[in-house]
C-alpha cells in the first residue's frame, strides 16, 4: 500500500490560489475556523487523502456507511477580492513525526502543482487561562509577508509562541519556505483547555480581512456562548470550593 | 525480509466468493464466530500469512513444533445457498497502524485476485455492561448493501459505534469501499470485559441467515454458559460487598 | 545507511555446519551458555553485524576504543563429533519487532549461504521461582528432529512455554522452518529474576551431548554459586520479615 | 519526502579538515562548547539539514519568521595551527534509533566528501553529583589516536563511561571507525542535572589545546557562575531541610 493515497474527483483549474489549513490542534481553533469558512462559501470537495499515517480506523456517517479516516480538500473560485481558495480539513493529523512530514510534504507538492501560491495555516495558541479578547498571533516565511499581514490585525511578538509551532500548521510553513511559497500561521489565543469557538472567530475575522471576505459569525458566536456558559459554571463550582484559585486547571 | 510473506499451499478457483474475517478484537466476538464457522463447514487451509508487523514470536503446537505468529486463510466451496467462502483467522492483528494498513491492503488485493467480491468482517461492540440479548450492529460500504442486510436482523443505528471501527474489521471495510467491493462489518454487542461466546453466537446467526447456512450452535452456547456462571459469581461477590453497584467494572 | 551492515573479515568454508545462537534474554541463559562454549573451543571471529535496529550507541573496550553496538559471528571447525560450528553472540537483540524480523532473516540467509544446515537457539524459560534442578525444554521445527533430540535429555512438554518463544530464539526457529532448515530451541528453566549461570550450565550440557563435546563447567558452576549465595541472603532477609512468603518476588 | 534534506548555500573547498559536533546532550556540555567556539572564530554557515527524524515543528526567530527544526553546518578555514574546521550544531538530535543512525551516517558521508579527515564529538559525562574540577574523558577510534590526545589533558579510564556513549556523539565515532576516519569523543564531567557551562569550558580548553587555538572564555565562565549561584541556593534550601543529604537529587 502506498503511504498516502489521494482520490481526486475533479481537477480544479486554479490561478494564484490560497491554501487554508484547518486540522485539529490546540482548542481546535484552526479546525473550527476552517469549517465555518467552508460552511459560508460555495466550496466543492475535490480530493480525499487516505494514509497509513492516520489511525487504522473507519468512521461512520448517519447511514452507517464507513469511510477510512482521511483529510479532505475543497476549492472555491473567485472568493472575496477574487482569489481562488483551497481548504484542507479533517479529523486527524499524522500520528508520527515521519507521518507529519510526509503528509505536509505531499500536500505542499499537490497544491503547488494545482496553482496554490500562498498558504495560511490556522491554529490556536494555548496560554493556560481564559482569554477575554483573543489576540491573533502570526508566524511567517518572510519578513515582507509579515508587513503585508500586520495591517489586518495579526500581531507579531518576539518569543511567542516560545516553543515554535508543532504539527501541520508548523510544517506547512516550514516546507513552504523551502519551496519558495509565501505562508503564514494565524494563531488565535485560547486557554487550551476547551474546544474554543471564540478563538476560532478571532482567527477567521483576521483571515477574512486578509482575503477581503465578509461572513456571518453568529453560529461561531452562539457556540462560544455555550462553551462560556459551561466553563463559567465550572468556575463557579471551583471558586465556591477554593476561592483563592485563579486559573481553570485542566478540564476535558 | 519482505514485510509480508504469504505461503500458499493451494490456489483455489473461486467465483464471486465471500471473505469472512474473524481476527482478535473486542470480546474476541469475531474470532469466536469465525472459528465456530470453520469447525462446522468443510473448509481447507490454503494460505499462511507471516509478517514483520506481527509480534516477533513463535507459537508451539502440542508436539512443541514451532510456527511463527501468523494469519491463516481457509476456503470452502458452494456453502449454504451456493457461494464460495474464504475465511481469515489468526491469533494477532498488525501491531502498528502502518502494519494494520499494510496487512489489510495485502489481504484485499490477494482476495480480489482469487475471486472474492464481498467481505464480511466480524467483531464486537463494547457497551460496558452485561447484555442479555446482544443486538448485531452493522456498518457498510454502500447504502444499497445495507438494504440487503436489514432483513437478516442487522441493526443500523446512527451514531453507533460513535468512535467508528478500529483495526482489521474497520480497514477491510474502508479499503473495500476504495476498491469497489461490497463489504459490511457485523458487530455483536458485548460487555467488552470478557471473551464473549454469546455475542459470537448472535453474529454468527446473522451471518448464517445472510449466506443461507444452518449449523449447530451448542458448543458456543455451552461456552457462553460457562462464562455466564463465572461472571454471575463475580457479580454476586461484588453485590454482597456493594449492593448499589450496577455494572461490572473492569474484570480480566 | 543500510538497515544492516555486515563486516566480514574472513569467509570460512563450512560444510553441514551448526549455528548456535546465544543472545541476551530471560536470565541471560542463552548468552552465558554460548559465551562459555566460545571460551572452551578454538573459535575464530569472522563477522560483525551492525544495524540501525540496535540502540544508537557505542561501547568502549578497556583502552577506551569505541565500537558500535553489534552482534558477532564466530566459527570453529571439526568440533566434537566432527561438525563445523557457527556461534552468534552479542549484547543486544533488535529493538523493535520489525528489527527482530530483519536481523533474524539476515542471519538465516547469511548462514545458509555459508553452509549452515542446523540451528540451535539457546534461551531461558522463566518459571517465576527458584529451580533446584533446571530442566531443559525444547521446541523444534519438525517432529522427526524432536526424536533425534529426546535421547540427549531435552524435554518436550505440551503447553510449555505456553506463550511461545519471543525474540531471536523464536524467530530463528520460525524462519528455519520456512527455509527448510532443522532447528531447535533449548530452554533452561530459570527463575527469570537473576542472571542464571545454573540454567546456562543445564542448557550447555544438553547441547554438548548433542554435538558430542565435553568441556570443563567449573567457571559456570562457580558463577552459579556466587548468584546462589546472594539470592539465599536476600531470601533469608525476606523470610525474617515475612515468614509466610514463598517465592522471591521480583528482584533486579 | 526524502528522509534527510540538505540545503547547501556554499560548497567550501576544505583540506584535511576537522569536524566538531556539538548537539544537545547530557548537561548540554557539547552544545555549549561548540556554540562558544562558533562565536569566537570566523565561521560561515554553509549547510542546513532538515529531516523527518527531527520533531515535526518550526522554530521562530525574533521577527516571527519560521524555520523547520534543523541541524546546521559551519566552516572556518586555517584555524589555530592551520587546520580547516567544520562545526555541527543544532537544537535537536534524531528522535528514534533509526533516525540517529541515518543522520550520523549522512553527516559522515557528506563531511568525508568535502575533505573532513578527523572528527571530534563533544559531550557530557553525567556523574550524578556536583563536580568542582571537571575532568575531560576521552573515547577514540584507535589506540594510536588516543596517544596523540593524552598530552592535551584528555583522560582515558577503563570502564568510564561504563554504559558507552549514546546518540550522535557515539555514533559519529562508531561510523568513523567503520569508514577509516580518526575520531574522538571528548566528554566533560557534569552533574547531569543542569545545563553546565563549566563542563563545556573544560571540554573546549582541551579541544583548543588539540587544534592550537586560544580564545576568551569569560562568557562561559560568567554563565557558569550564574548556574553555580542558583544551584548553591537550592543546595542551601535542601540542607536546611535535610542536613544529612549529600547529593542534589534531580532538579530541572
Question: What distance in Å separates the CA atoms of residue D119 and residue D23, rounded to the nearest whole number?
Answer: 14
| Omega within 30 of 0 (cis) for the link into D194 | no
**pLDDT for D249:** 37
Buried b (16+ CB within 10 A) or exposed e, D9-29: eeebebeebbbbbbbbbbbbb
Q: What's the gap between Cα B203 and its chain centre?
A: 9
Q: Does A66 touch chain B (CB under 8 A)?
A: yes
- Give yes or no for residue A246 having a pLDDT over 80: no
More confident: D242 or B223: B223
- Yes or no, beta carbons of C50 and D178 under 8 Å apart: yes
- From D53, D67, D95, residue closest to A174, measured CB to CB: D67
A119 Cβ contact list (under 8 Å, min separation 6): A18, A19, A20, A21, A108, A111, A172, A173, A176, A181, A182, A183, A184
**pLDDT for C241:** 66
Q: In what order do the strands lie in the sheet with C66-68?
A: C66-68, C57-60, D165-166
- Yes or no, beta carbons of B173 and A60 under 8 Å apart: no
Over residues A49-66, the mean pLDDT reads 97
**Whether C76 contacts C44, CB under 8 Å:** yes
Q: How far is B63 from chain C (nearest CA, A)?
A: 6
Radius of gyration in angstroms for the set of CA atoms belonging to chain A, rounded to a whole number: 18
- Yes or no, beta carbons of A64 and B141 under 8 Å apart: no
**Whether D117 contacts D182, CB under 8 Å:** yes
pLDDT bracket for residue C31 (50, 70, 90): very high
Question: What distance in Å separates the CA atoms of residue B40 and residue C129, rounded to the nearest whole number?
Answer: 43
- Yes or no, beta carbons of D60 and A178 under 8 Å apart: no
- From B56, B59, B95, residue closest to C171, measured CB to CB: B56
DSSP alpha helix (H) spans, D75-187:
97-113, 143-149, 168-178
- From D138, D167, D178, residue closest to C56, measured CB to CB: D167
Phi, psi of D6 (to 5 degrees): -110, 120
**Whether D184 contacts D121, CB under 8 Å:** yes
Q: Is D158 exposed, middle or buried (0-12, 13-18, 19+ CB in 10 A)?
A: exposed
3 state SS of B48: strand
- Give yes or no for residue D89 having a pLDDT over 90: yes
B4-216 — its CATH code?
3.40.50.10900
**Whether A150 contacts A156, CB under 8 Å:** yes
Q: What architecture is domain D13-239?
A: 3-Layer(aba) Sandwich (3.40)
Q: How far apart are the first and last CA of chain C?
A: 36
Any bridge partners for residue B20, and if so which?
A: B87, B120
Q: Does D103 touch chain C (CB under 8 A)?
A: no
Question: What distance in Å separates the CA atoms of residue B246 and residue C87, rounded to the nearest whole number?
Answer: 60
Best probe of the A interface among D5, D55, D59, D60, by most A CBs < 10 A, is: D60
- Give yes or no for residue A66 having a pLDDT over 80: yes
Question: What subunits touch chain A, counting only 3 or more CB pairs under 8 A?
Answer: B, D
**pLDDT for C1:** 87
DSSP structural state of residue C162? T
Q: How far is B203 from chain A (nearest CA, A)?
A: 17
Identify which of A117, A44, A87 has the alpha carbon closest to the alpha carbon of residue A207.
Answer: A87
Looking at beta carbons, which residues of chain D come within 8 Å of A100? Answer: 52, 56
Express each pLDDT in A188-202 by its tens digit.
Answer: 999 988 899 999 999
Percent helix, strand, coil in chain D (nearest 5)? 35, 30, 35
Identify which of A145, A137, A90 has the alpha carbon closest to the alpha carbon of residue A117.
Answer: A145
State the cell numbers at D92. 535537536
> Strand C136-140 and strand C71-79: pairing?
unpaired
Phi, psi of A242 (to 5 degrees): -145, 80
Q: Which of C97-106, D101-110, D233-242 has the lowest mean pLDDT?
A: D233-242
- From C64, C67, C95, residue closest to D138, measured CB to CB: C64
Q: How far is B55 from chain C (nearest CA, A)?
A: 6
Q: Which residue of A has its CA nearest to B109?
A: A1
Provide, rounded to the nearest whole percent, the portion of chain C with pLDDT above 90: 86
Question: What distance in Å separates the CA atoms of residue D54 and residue D72, rounded to the nearest whole number?
Answer: 13
**Whether A25 contacts A167, CB under 8 Å:** yes
**Whether C196 contacts C124, CB under 8 Å:** yes
**For chain A, domain boundaries:** 4-217
Express each pLDDT in D155-190 by its tens digit.
Answer: 999 999 988 999 999 999 999 999 999 999 999 999
How many CB atoms within 10 Å of residue B186? 28
- Give yes or no for residue D243 having a pLDDT over 80: no
Q: Does B45 touch chain A (CB under 8 A)?
A: no
- Give yes or no for residue C25 having a pLDDT over 90: yes
- Yes or no, beta carbons of A57 and B141 under 8 Å apart: no
How many Cα atoms are found within 13 Å in the side-chain-facing hemisphere of A10?
13
pLDDT bracket for residue D251 (50, 70, 90): very low
Q: What is the pLDDT along chain B (252 residues), one digit of tens a residue?
A: 899 999 999 999 999 999 999 999 999 999 999 999 999 999 999 999 999 999 999 999 999 999 999 999 999 999 999 999 999 999 999 999 999 999 999 999 999 999 999 999 999 999 999 899 999 999 999 999 999 999 999 999 999 998 899 999 999 999 999 999 999 999 999 999 889 999 999 999 999 999 999 999 999 999 999 998 988 888 788 777 654 444 443 333
- Angle of helix B197-211 relative to helix B29-39, nearest 10 degrees? 60
Question: What distance in Å separates the CA atoms of residue B108 and residue B180, rounded to the nearest whole number?
Answer: 11
Question: What distance in Å separates the CA atoms of residue D72 and residue D69, rounded to the nearest whole number?
Answer: 10
* CATH of A4-217 given 3.30.390.50, 3.40.50.300, 3.40.50.10900, 2.170.190.11: 3.40.50.10900
State the cell numbers at D180. 577509516
Q: How far is D155 from chain C (nearest CA, A)?
A: 10
Express each pLDDT in D16-69 by its tens digit.
Answer: 999 999 999 999 999 999 999 999 999 999 999 999 999 999 999 999 999 999
Q: Which residue of A has its CA nearest to B173?
A: A66
State the cell numbers at B247. 455494572
- Yes or no, beta carbons of C97 and B5 under 8 Å apart: no
**pLDDT for D236:** 84
- Yes or no, beta carbons of A146 and D59 under 8 Å apart: no
DSSP structural state of residue A212? T
- From C56, C62, C66, residue closest to D177, measured CB to CB: C66
**Whether C52 contacts C106, CB under 8 Å:** no
Question: What distance in Å separates the CA atoms of residue A105 and residue C217, rounded to the nearest whole number?
Answer: 60
Q: How far is C28 from chain D (nearest CA, A)?
A: 18
Phi, psi of D118 (to 5 degrees): -140, 145
More confident: D230 or C141: C141
3 state SS of C153: coil
- Yes or no, beta carbons of A56 and B175 under 8 Å apart: no
pTM over 0.80: yes
More confident: D238 or D141: D141
**Whether D15 contacts D79, CB under 8 Å:** no
Over residues A203-215, the mean pLDDT reads 97
Question: What distance in Å separates the CA atoms of residue A112 and residue A183, rounded to the nearest whole number?
Answer: 12
Phi, psi of A122 (to 5 degrees): -110, 135
**Whether C123 contacts C30, CB under 8 Å:** yes
Looking at beta carbons, which residues of chain A come within 8 Å of B167? Answer: 56-57
**pLDDT for D245:** 43
- Yes or no, beta carbons of C101 and B55 under 8 Å apart: no
Q: What's the gap between Cα A79 and its chain centre?
A: 18
**Whether D34 contacts D122, CB under 8 Å:** yes
Best probe of the A interface among D57, D61, D64, by most A CBs < 10 A, is: D64
- For residues C33, C39, C44, C50, the Cα torsion angle rounded to the nearest 10 degrees is 50
- Yes or no, beta carbons of C66 and D94 under 8 Å apart: no
**Whether A191 contacts A182, CB under 8 Å:** no
Looking at beta carbons, which residues of chain A come within 8 Å of B159? Answer: 62
Express each pLDDT in C156-174 by its tens digit.
Answer: 999 999 889 999 999 999 9
Q: Does B162 touch chain C (CB under 8 A)?
A: no
* Domain range C4-241, CATH class: alpha beta
Question: What distance in Å separates the CA atoms of residue B115 and residue B122, rounded to the nearest whole number?
Answer: 20
3 state SS of D21: strand
Express each pLDDT in A139-149 by its tens digit.
Answer: 999 999 999 99
Q: Report how far apart, in Å, the C-alpha atoms of C231 and of each of B136, C126, C135, C169 are.
A: 56, 16, 20, 27
State the cell numbers at B164. 467508528
Over residues C243-247, the mean pLDDT reads 46
Q: Report how far apart, in Å, the C-alpha atoms of C65 and of each of B139, C51, D184 are.
A: 61, 19, 9
Over residues C57-69, the mean pLDDT reads 97
How many CB atoms within 10 Å of residue D184? 27
State the cell numbers at C29. 541463559
Q: Does A54 touch chain B (CB under 8 A)?
A: yes
Identify which of A178, A165, A98 has the alpha carbon closest to the alpha carbon of residue D95.
Answer: A98
Any bridge partners for residue C186, and if so which?
A: C122, C138
Q: How far is B162 from chain A (nearest CA, A)?
A: 8
Interface contacts C/D by beta carbons within 8 Å: 86
**Whether B15 contacts B84, CB under 8 Å:** yes
DSSP A96-134: SHHHHHHHHHHHHHHHHHTTEEEEEEEEEEE-SS--SS-
Buried b (16+ CB within 10 A) or exposed e, D214-232: ebebebbeebbeeeeeebe
**Whether D203 contacts D30, CB under 8 Å:** yes
Q: What's the gap between Cα D167 and its chain centre?
A: 11
- From A100, A137, A140, residue closest to D66, measured CB to CB: A140
Looking at beta carbons, which residues of chain B come within 8 Å of A4? Answer: none
Question: What distance in Å separates the CA atoms of residue B87 and residue B84, rounded to the nearest whole number?
Answer: 10
State the cell numbers at D142. 584507535
Residues recorded for chain C: 252
- Yes or no, beta carbons of C158 and B7 under 8 Å apart: no
Amino acid at each position: 500500500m502506498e503511504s498516502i493515497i489521494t482520490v481526486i474527483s475533479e481537477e480544479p483549474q486554479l490561478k494564484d490560489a490560497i491554501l487554508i489549513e484547518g486540522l485539529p490542534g490546540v482548542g481546535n481553533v484552526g479546525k473550527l475556523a476552517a469549517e465555518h469558512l467552508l460552511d459560508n462559501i460555495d466550496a466543492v470537495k475535490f480530493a480525499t487523502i487516505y494514509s497509513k499515517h492516520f489511525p487504522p480506523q473507519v468512521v461512520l456517517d448517519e447511514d452507517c456507511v464507513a469511510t477510512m479516516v482521511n483529510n479532505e480538500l475543497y476549492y472555491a473560485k473567485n472568493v472575496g477580492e477574487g482569489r481562488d481558495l483551497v481548504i484542507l480539513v479533517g479529523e486527524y493529523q499524522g500520528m508520527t513525526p515521519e507521518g507529519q512530514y510526509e503528509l505536509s510534504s505531499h500536500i505542499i507538492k499537490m497544491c503547488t502543482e494545482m496553482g496554490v501560491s500562498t498558504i495560511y495555516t490556522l491554529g490556536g495558541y494555548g496560554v493556560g487561562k481564559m482569554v477575554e479578547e483573543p489576540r491573533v498571533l502570526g508566524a511567517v516565511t518572510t519578513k515582507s509577508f509579515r508587513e503585508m499581514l500586520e495591517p489586518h490585525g495579526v500581531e507579531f511578538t518576539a518569543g511567542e509562541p516560545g516553543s515554535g509551532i508543532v504539527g501541520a500548521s508548523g510544517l506547512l510553513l516550514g516546507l513552504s519556505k523551502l519551496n519558495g511559497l509565501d505562508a503564514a500561521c494565524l494563531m488565535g489565543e485560547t486557554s487550551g483547555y476547551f474546544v474554543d469557538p471564540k478563538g476560532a472567530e478571532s482567527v477567521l475575522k483576521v483571515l477574512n480581512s486578509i482575503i477581503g471576505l465578509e461572513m456571518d459569525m453568529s453560529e461561531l458566536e452562539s457556540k462560544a456562548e455555550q462553551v462560556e456558559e459551561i466553563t463559567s459554571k465550572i468556575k463557579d463550582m471551583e471558586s465556591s470550593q477554593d476561592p483563592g484559585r485563579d486559573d481553570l486547571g485542566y478540564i476535558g
